[in-house]
Structure 1
Amino acid sequence: MMWMLAAAAVLLLLGVSLWWQWRREARRAGRPTSGGVGIPLIVMVLAVAGYLLVGKNEHTVAWLEHQENYGDAARDIVAGKAPDMDAADIPAAAMARVLQSQLSRTPSATGWFALGSLYDQLGAPAQTEEAARKSLALDPDSPASHLLLARALIEKAGGKLNDAAREEIRWVLDREPNHDGAWMLLTLSADRAGEYDEAIAGWESLLSRHENGETADLLRRGLENSRLQKARQGVFASLSAQVNGENLPAGGTLFVYIREQGSRGQPLAARRQVAPAFPATVSLTAENWLQPYPSGDATLVMGARYTPAPGAAVDQAMISAGPVPLELPQQAPLSLDLSAQ
Structure 2
Amino acid sequence: MMLWVMALVLLLVMAAVLWMMWRREGRKAGKNMKGALGIPLVMAVLAGAGYGLIGLNEHTATWLEHQQEYGDVARQIIAGQPPEKAASEVPAGALVRVLQSELSQTPSAVGWYALGALYDQLGAPAQTEEAARKALQLNPDDAAMHLLLARALIEKNEARLTDPALEEIRWVLDREPNHDGAWMLLAMSADRAGRYALSEQAWASLLSRHSEGETAELLQRGLDRAREQKQREGVFANLAATVNGEGLPAGGTLFVFLRKAGSAGQPLAAQRKVVTHFPITVSLTAANWLQGYPDEQADLVIGARYTPAPGASVDQAAITAVPVSLQLPQAQPATLNLSRQ
Q: Could you say which TM-score interval applies, normalised by the shorter chain?
A: over 0.9
- In the alignment, which residue of structure 1 is the partner of 2:325? 325
Task: Find out whether 1:149 has 2:149 as its counterpart.
Answer: yes
The offset of 1:73, in angstroms, is 2.4
- In the alignment, which residue of structure 1 is the partner of 2:122? 122
Measured at CA, do residues 139 and 12 of structure 1 come closer, stay the same or move farther in structure 2, by a change above 3 Å? Answer: farther
Measured at CA, do residues 208 and 278 of structure 1 come closer, stay the same or move farther in structure 2, by a change above 3 Å? Answer: same
Measured at CA, do residues 56 and 230 of structure 1 come closer, stay the same or move farther in structure 2, by a change above 3 Å? Answer: same
Identity of aligned residues (%): 65
The one-letter amino acid paired with 2:289 is W
The offset of 1:39, in angstroms, is 4.5
Q: 1:11·1:43 contact (CA, 8 Å) conserved in 2?
A: no
Task: Find the aligned partners of 2:184 and 2:219 in 1 and give their Cα distance.
Answer: 10
Give CA-to-partner distance per residue, 1:164-193, whole Å, 9 cap, x none: 112211221222111110111122222222
Task: Find the aligned partners of 2:251 and 2:275 in 1 and give their Cα distance.
Answer: 5
- In the alignment, which residue of structure 2 is the partner of 1:311? 311
- In the alignment, which residue of structure 2 is the partner of 1:40? 40
Measured at CA, do residues 25 and 223 of structure 1 come closer, stay the same or move farther in structure 2, by a change above 3 Å? Answer: same
Q: 1:18·1:39 contact (CA, 8 Å) conserved in 2?
A: no
- In the alignment, which residue of structure 2 is the partner of 1:111? 111
The offset of 1:231, in angstroms, is 0.7
Measured at CA, do residues 215 and 20 of structure 1 come closer, stay the same or move farther in structure 2, by a change above 3 Å? Answer: same
- In the alignment, which residue of structure 2 is the partner of 1:337? 337
The offset of 1:91, in angstroms, is 2.6
The offset of 1:16, in angstroms, is 2.6
Q: Larger deviation: 13-22 or 107-116?
A: 13-22
Measured at CA, do residues 25 and 140 of structure 1 come closer, stay the same or move farther in structure 2, by a change above 3 Å? Answer: farther
Aligned length: 341
- In the alignment, which residue of structure 2 is the partner of 1:277? 277
The offset of 1:104, in angstroms, is 1.9
The offset of 1:43, in angstroms, is 4.0
Task: Find the aligned partners of 1:34 and 1:322 in 2 and give their Cα distance.
Answer: 93
- In the alignment, which residue of structure 1 is the partner of 2:286? 286
Measured at CA, do residues 60 and 299 of structure 1 come closer, stay the same or move farther in structure 2, by a change above 3 Å? Answer: farther
SS of the equivalent of 2:265 reads: coil
Q: 2:252·2:274 contact (CA, 8 Å) conserved in 1?
A: yes
SS of the equivalent of 1:338 reads: strand
Q: 1:244·1:339 contact (CA, 8 Å) conserved in 2?
A: no
TM-score for the superposition, normalised by structure 2: 0.92
Q: 1:80·1:111 contact (CA, 8 Å) conserved in 2?
A: yes
Task: Find the aligned partners of 2:215 and 2:108 in 1 and give their Cα distance.
Answer: 36
Task: Find the aligned partners of 2:263 and 2:223 in 1 and give their Cα distance.
Answer: 28
Q: Larger deviation: 255-264 or 5-14?
A: 5-14
The offset of 1:210, in angstroms, is 0.7
TM-score for the superposition, normalised by structure 1: 0.92
Measured at CA, do residues 42 and 265 of structure 1 come closer, stay the same or move farther in structure 2, by a change above 3 Å? Answer: farther
The one-letter amino acid paired with 1:226 is A
Task: Find out whether 1:201 has 2:201 as its counterpart.
Answer: yes
SS of the equivalent of 2:172 reads: helix
Q: 1:15·1:39 contact (CA, 8 Å) conserved in 2?
A: no
Q: 1:126·1:156 contact (CA, 8 Å) conserved in 2?
A: yes
The one-letter amino acid paired with 1:326 is L
Measured at CA, do residues 37 and 279 of structure 1 come closer, stay the same or move farther in structure 2, by a change above 3 Å? Answer: same
Task: Find the aligned partners of 2:260 and 2:97 in 1 and give their Cα distance.
Answer: 45
Task: Find the aligned partners of 2:147 and 2:39 in 1 and give their Cα distance.
Answer: 58
The offset of 1:336, in angstroms, is 1.3
Measured at CA, do residues 45 and 198 of structure 1 come closer, stay the same or move farther in structure 2, by a change above 3 Å? Answer: same
Alignment of 1:1-341 (within 5 A): 1-339=1-339, 341=341
- Structure 2, unpaired ranges of 5+: none
